[in-house]
A = this chain, B = another copy of it.
């Protein structure tokens, strides 16, 4: 009677949510400070001052009818100009406002881009470990989700495996760098090889294979790491961006899609993006926050806190004998489970009040995700618990 598929999707709470609910229960029992909850990727650093200041200023000075009114469906022209200019300045691109479509956050950037290009039987490739919603978004658009295992030491794209996975039905490839859940940033060299394979295969199969780059963590990188801007490496590319993590406003749902100006049939494809947004019920992105990001586009939350957390955690865990992938960005650390079954490992961790997420849902069994967007104190206090956990395997 109803859609069984949608019902199952609604009922199947994600593993992350389950752990989050457990954490709340356990905190009530033994006190929040005694729980080491590393389950949720919710920014814990407040938004930069600019966000509050801008909202106050807009409320004081703008006509509320305009401030809270509909914008055009693809986003306010003035804001789209600011976004395209900022990207051009930063990455030397030549985008115009009509290459930008403002969205209700990164998830909407993905569902809209996918819906714009998906035809029945199409295949969308993603690399393990991947954000679990990708599968849901691809399948909701009626296409098939295909995964390719990354190199298991570096978590860079395994180029031969990738090449072997491309078929005549491959419509697009989804990349996510900095990656959730591994924190890994794809190297420029790896990206060049990836794009070369895509170009070759596009030619071989006689149709473009699109690149969809999901980049909510672009601004969260540590040290002198550079995240290559993919439309400078591949023409048929969409970039999905979100201000959620950079400005610590994940609940406000604001981001954008870049449809590369160098894409084949860029104008038609941009129209398809507009059409997909319309079909999915996105009338426009929240108008107040369109104005906010226009003003705060060059701001970032204080990411030094995340860097400090990463350093303490990575160093601490490595010293304890854990095998960790060095995260260059985002606020996740991907760690090898000390037994093959990561679920069992996470259960053992729970004994020491350590709440970790098994990598299985991300397509990488045998790993766990540790979200370090938490108080630094929690990380320091958790290390003795991690030590006890490690001792179980000695």
Contact = CB atoms under 8 A, between A and B. Distances in A.
* Chain A interface main SS type: helix
A92 interface: no
A280 B250 contact: no
Contacts of A1: 117, 207-208, 264-265
Given A105-B283, A117-B3, A278 B9 contact: yes
A2 B65 contact: no
A2 B268 contact: yes
A47 B70 contact: no
A277 B282 CA distance: 12
Contact of A115 (B6, B65, B108, B252): B6
Contacts of A104: 104, 253, 281-282
A287 B252 contact: yes
Contact of A3 (B10, B208, B249, B272): B272
Contact of A281 (B68, B70, B119, B280): B280
B271 A10 contact: yes
B65 A248 contact: yes
B249 A279 contact: no
A125 to B, nearest CB: 17
Interface string A236-254: 0000000000001111110
A209 to B, nearest CB: 10
Given A10-B272, A104-B104, A283 B3 contact: no
Interface in A129-153: 133, 136-137, 139-140, 142
Contacts of A108: 281-282
Contacts of A250: 68-70, 283
Contact of A265 (B2, B55, B119, B139): B2
Nearest to A7: B272
Contacts of A71: 251
Given A46-B64, A252-B287, A275-B10, A118 B3 contact: yes
Contacts of A276: 3, 6, 9-10
Contacts of A19: none
Nearest to A171: B1
B68 A59 contact: no
Contacts of A46: 63-65
Contacts of A282: 104, 107-108
Interface residue range, chain A: 35 or more
Given A5-B275, A56-B59, A251 B136 contact: no
Contacts of A283: 105, 107, 250, 253
A371 to B, nearest CB: 13
Contacts of A270: 10
Contacts of A269: 2, 7
A320 interface: no
Contacts of A42: 69-70
B11 A275 contact: yes
B208 A252 contact: no
Given A1-B117, A68-B249, A281 B10 contact: no
A157 interface: no
26 contacts: A1-B264, A2-B265, A2-B269, A3-B116, A3-B119, A6-B115, A7-B269, A7-B275, A9-B274, A9-B275, A10-B272, A10-B274, A10-B275, A11-B268, A11-B271, A42-B70, A43-B69, A68-B248, A70-B251, A133-B278, A137-B279, A250-B283, A253-B283, A280-B280, A280-B281, A286-B286
